[in-house]
Amino acid sequence: MPRRRSLRAELNNSHPAAHAASLGDVVYDLITTVNAQRAVIAALLAKLDGDSGVGATDYVSTLALPAAVKLPEDRKNA
């Protein structure tokens, strides 16, 4: 049985324009960047909450962070 290509490779090769734009790589890079920024925001809010020089605001509760974005292969097919 032939080995299935990765979803990234399938996206990259799904169409000539997708290949030229490296669509699969772009999607994975965007997901990675969004998740990294989410972690930075969460750390910043935790730092503000722990800082004694900041008022009694509960910064973590002021911003409901969305769940991390799953990579395509980690998503369940509905």
Name the residue range of residue 38's domain: 7-65
* 38-47, 56-65, 66-75: range with lowest mean pLDDT: 56-65
Number of domains present in the structure of the chain? 1
- On whether residue 39 sits in a domain, the answer given is yes
- Given a cut of 50, is residue 8 above it in pLDDT? yes
In a domain, residue 77? The reply is: no
Q: CB atoms < 10 A from the CB of 39, how many?
A: 12
Q: Tell me, yes or no, whether 61 lies in a domain.
A: yes
User: 0.85 cut: is pTM over it?
Assistant: no
In a domain, 17, yes or no: yes
Residue 72 belongs to a domain: no
In a domain, 37, yes or no: yes
Quick check: helix, strand or coil at residue 78?
coil
Residue 12 lies in a domain: yes
Q: Decide if 25 is inside a domain.
A: yes
Identify the pLDDT of residue 78.
44
